[in-house]
Structure 1
Amino acid sequence: MYVEDLKKDFYEFLAGKRVFLVVHYDIDSICACKILQSLLRYKHVSYSLAVVRGLEDLKTAYHENCADVKYYILLNCGGTLDVIEELEADEDVTFFILDSHRPTDLCNIYSNGQVKLLSLPDEDVGVPHFHDIFREESDEEEEDENDSEGSGSEDRASKRRRLDEESIMKRRERRLWEENRDKLVFDYSQFTYYARASAIRLFELAWQLNKEDKDLLWLAIVALTEQMLFGKIENTQYTLEIGPLQAHANRLQNMTNDTDVLTSLKIAFEKDLRLALYRHWSVEDSLKYSMFTAVKMKLWSLRGDKKLHELLADMG
């Protein structure tokens, strides 16, 4: 289930509780973890932390701590699988999941409260309705075989034929429902993609709590930039996300304090070339090892290498 109010149902809910942070090893996860750690310190929430690379690491981290910890926060992991089934979790364990990987597992979306998703519902595209995916198993009523003495063999045969017809219709309806369910699940889960960065979601929580600063904003910017540079999101989504971050940067820039003066901390938005480490490498190395230019000029071929040197000659 989705958490509608992060401040009340997540942040304030964890006050005074011991939690366990499970963090994926990518850049967005690290940035999101740093933001969350800053927020947890304000509430004096005690926590432990583990970094995972896959399902086996997640299982190990859970089973090593399940006896002592009942609240788990999963950052960029666990969202695409049924964590209750995979981890064989007890009923008194609660998972808070903030995962940018998509699609989100349907069992997590329709959980009765043991799994709480911190992402926004509109980030999951094409989620099937609950009744199209889950169906309660109704036990067939046992037939009363105590027929009255006056009922004849013809009545019993007629009743049996009617029950057989109803059973056939029920099996047919169930088969059609299962075929439709399988199609919906396939259409929903056949493609993988990325939603907005988890660090941005947590920075918005920090802003809602009036605990944001330039350091947390920078972490959100780094997470979004990583998604864009590695092709996890499209340019249109990057443009939509960068607008609010730029507004936050302008607002925080006008809110100076002693720490900012001492560290000369400043965030400015400028258009830059999408070349890998061109401020640290030579121009040739940056062009050679950037994905866009390498693919565009086919630098793995002799002709591409010749194009690169011609470009460098034209640039002077």
Structure 2
Amino acid sequence: MVREQSIDSFYARLRESATASSSTTPLLIFPSTSDVDSLCALKIIGHVLESDSVRYACYPVSTFKEIHKFAGPDSCSSPEEPVTILLINWGCHRDLGKVLGLGPCAKVFVVDSHRPIHLHNLSDQNDGVVVLYTRDDEDQADLAYDLRVPVSALANASDLNSDDEGGDDLESDDESESESEGEDDGGEGSQKRRRVSGESEKDPVKLFRKLKKEYYHMGTFHGKPSGCLMYDLSHSLRKNTNDLLWFACVALTDQFVHERLTNERYQAGVMELEQHINSSGNLDAATTVTLKDGTKVLAPDSSKIACEDEPKLMLLQEWNLFDSMLCSSYMATKLKTWSDNGMKKLMLLLARMGFALEDCRQKFQYMNVAIKRKMKDEFEEFLPEYGLTDFYYRGFCLLHGYSSRLSAADVVFGVTALLESFVESDGTCAAKQFGVAYDSLSLSKLEKLEIGMRQAIKVQRAILRQGSSAITKKGSIRSGSKFRWVKLEDSADTKLLGYPQALTKFGYFLMDALKEKGAKMKPLICICYTQERNKVLIVGVCGKPRLGADRGNAFGIAFRDAAEETGTDFFHELFESSWIVLDALAVNSFMIRLTEKLWITRRPPLRGYIRNSRRSEMVREVDLIVPPTENWDKYGTSAHGYSQVVGPPVPIDVDAVHDVLICTPGICTSMLLL
């Protein structure tokens, strides 16, 4: 049984496997360098392992290929010495048996919040991989597993010997079925499609293939943070401490800040952690502390975690109130602070609240105490008039003594900036920088966290500069029927935004700004040069997760397929499938093929009429058609990059809800959808 629903059982198997080896390092831990959640989970599981005297070695990795330096097929397939591997926040969406070349003595344990999980990793037949997959993954996930069967049943029916990486082996069969169905026109075609669909429901093999395809094509999303799962483990083993609880709070905040979970699931996570905070004896004995002026006061000798209403102002404790309001994504997109009108609104808001501009420009730590005390009341009174109705959210902060206050969101911003300070063009991160980010989570190394916070401020300023430029400069954001895309050209800011998390934040900033302008919501693709000018980083953003949504981020499979068709070198080994590194010269070709991939969908054909633009008369009734790219030269290209041949009606799938211009050699027509 490799699908462990119990955290206790998962750890028991991990410890048993590690202690069975006589090696000096019986357990190899490979944490992801892509997010703060992974660092928090590593901190917690490291404490638990050390308390049980389990030896381990840690090797941070940024891509799938990096693990082969330490645990490639040679080490994993060796029958001489058992190998136990723990992957933190990566690996579950790839067939690990195939990627690592596991042998009979190798055992891989996976704690990963990425979803969906590769079915081979969940199968009972796969003894080499153990995935922590709790019941909440299916019952309380952001995306509904509307598959009519449990995911575990689907995994157990999977053939481990099949060459299946994301369900691509199903494409050819689906296309052939679509072609055969399309040979019949009119009502006969519809009847045949219904008949074929009914037959597939009765055939277990066809039903399995259909459900498998739906599972892999539901798009990527995230489950419970790995840091929270590891804290649940420490709590169940009674090894939890106040520091570990703080790491769990930071892990949950990491998903919230980076738009990886719904508001409902975040609130549920906050309530769960708040119960731990209230029951953990958070108030510690006071001790004497000497201040800078020599005054002795009583202060707690350890930290206290508080759950409070936090403003959506980025890095307020490290910044100043004016700049934080000016640059924070929430307020900047609502007020449009990059414009003259938006700046006037901001200045008027501060004046109405009675906040002197001179005080607001001081570092928040030294700001007028009277303003700090009445700040929340003033915000709650005046901000709703400007459309800022959800300015406060329930968050966590760490109180140390009477002067130090650390917000969990600020920690996430600072540590993320440290992680992305030194990243190569292929996404690899120096192990040294990972160590700096790891140390910055400790209260004794706050100076390192402050360096990360200052770097995060630079990144946020770059987001505001480039975001405002893209919004105000006509033609910067290009729009298609399925998505929008923007390419960053500024060489100075690309040095700050040419990293996956930073570019993703930039994408969310643009989506929020476009939403405030009243634009139709569409996924957004952001393209930015890496540190090497001949490479570009491409990130796909689909918007904030919504409760009950039936689809996540669908860019992963489309990115890989489009890059393969360009025939150029690309790197798709990062831990988020919606991130890809590509040759800069291949961007246009990549976007053309990506548009084709995302345009064609598996929906029933929409019917309409073609009108001849010359005679303005009814020509004939047809189904819409989107021919493959190899036929473009034959048929001619339309304004959307697609074409329609004048001839017998041919039913083809297309996703459109507006008039479609169709051009053929010599004749331009328009399609009116019914």
TM-score range, shorter chain: 0.7 to 0.9
Which of these residues, 260, 265, 271, is aligned with residue 243 of structure 1? Answer: 271
| Residue 54 of structure 2: aligned partner | 45
Q: In structure 2, give the amino acid aligned to 1:183.
A: K
Q: Does 1:19 align with 2:47?
A: no
Structure-to-structure mapping, 1:165-314, within 5 angstroms: 179-189=206-216, 190-253=218-281, 256=284, 263-314=301-352
Secondary structure at 1:270's aligned position in 2?
strand
* Aligned length in residues: 281
Q: Give the number of the structure with larger relative contact order, counting CA–CA contacts within 8 Å between residues 6 or more apart.
A: 1
Q: C-alpha separation between the residues in 1 aligned to 2:286 and 2:5?
A: 36
Secondary structure at 1:36's aligned position in 2?
helix
Q: In structure 2, give the amino acid aligned to 1:44.
A: S
Q: C-alpha separation between the residues in 1 aligned to 2:307 and 2:83?
A: 42
Q: In structure 2, give the amino acid aligned to 1:242.
A: V
1:115-146 Cα offsets, whole Å, 9 max, x none, are 11123133145254338953699xxxxxxxxx
Secondary structure at 1:267's aligned position in 2?
strand
| Residue 121 of structure 1: aligned partner | 135
Q: C-alpha separation between the residues in 2 aligned to 1:255 and 1:43?
A: 28
1:215 shift after superposition: 0.6
Quick one: structure 1 residues 311 and 78, their matched pair in 2 at CA, closer, same or farther if it must change by over 3 Å? same
Which of these residues, 39, 57, 66, is aligned with residue 66 of structure 2? Answer: 57
Quick one: structure 1 residues 57 and 281, their matched pair in 2 at CA, closer, same or farther if it must change by over 3 Å? same
Q: Is the 8 A contact 1:278 1:286 kept in 2?
A: yes
Q: Does 1:102 align with 2:115?
A: yes
Secondary structure at 2:117's aligned position in 1?
coil
Q: Is the 8 A contact 1:19 1:69 kept in 2?
A: no
Which of these residues, 72, 90, 94, is aligned with residue 81 of structure 1? Answer: 94
**Unpaired runs of at least 5, structure 1:** 138-171
Higher strand proportion (structure 1 or 2): 2
Quick one: structure 1 residues 44 and 262, their matched pair in 2 at CA, closer, same or farther if it must change by over 3 Å? farther
| Residue 8 of structure 2: aligned partner | 7
Q: C-alpha separation between the residues in 2 aligned to 1:86 and 1:258?
A: 53
Under a length normalisation based on structure 2, what TM-score does the superposition of the two structures give? 0.38
| Residue 494 of structure 2: aligned partner | none
Under a length normalisation based on structure 1, what TM-score does the superposition of the two structures give? 0.78
Q: In structure 2, give the amino acid aligned to 1:278.
A: L
Secondary structure at 1:22's aligned position in 2?
strand
Quick one: structure 1 residues 303 and 5, their matched pair in 2 at CA, closer, same or farther if it must change by over 3 Å? same
Q: Is the 8 A contact 1:102 1:194 kept in 2?
A: yes
Q: Is the 8 A contact 1:15 1:44 kept in 2?
A: no
Q: C-alpha separation between the residues in 1 aligned to 2:340 and 2:102?
A: 56
Q: C-alpha separation between the residues in 1 aligned to 2:97 and 2:52?
A: 28
Q: Is the 8 A contact 2:282 2:304 kept in 1?
A: no
Q: C-alpha separation between the residues in 2 aligned to 1:258 and 1:20?
A: 41
Quick one: structure 1 residues 73 and 273, their matched pair in 2 at CA, closer, same or farther if it must change by over 3 Å? same
| Residue 169 of structure 1: aligned partner | none
Q: Is the 8 A contact 2:119 2:158 kept in 1?
A: no
Q: Is the 8 A contact 1:275 1:290 kept in 2?
A: yes
Q: In structure 1, give the amino acid aligned to 2:137.
A: E
Secondary structure at 1:107's aligned position in 2?
helix
Quick one: structure 1 residues 295 and 214, their matched pair in 2 at CA, closer, same or farther if it must change by over 3 Å? same
Quick one: structure 1 residues 262 and 14, their matched pair in 2 at CA, closer, same or farther if it must change by over 3 Å? farther
Q: C-alpha separation between the residues in 1 aligned to 2:120 and 2:286?
A: 49
1:287-313 Cα offsets, whole Å, 9 max, x none, are 232222222223444443443333333
Q: C-alpha separation between the residues in 2 aligned to 1:183 and 1:310?
A: 58
Q: In structure 2, give the amino acid aligned to 1:50.
A: Y
| RMSD between superposed Cα atoms in Å | 3.1
Q: How many percent of aligned residue pairs carry the same amino acid?
A: 28
Quick one: structure 1 residues 294 and 91, their matched pair in 2 at CA, closer, same or farther if it must change by over 3 Å? farther
1:89-109 Cα offsets, whole Å, 9 max, x none, are 212211110100111111111
Q: C-alpha separation between the residues in 1 aligned to 2:4 and 2:10?
A: 7
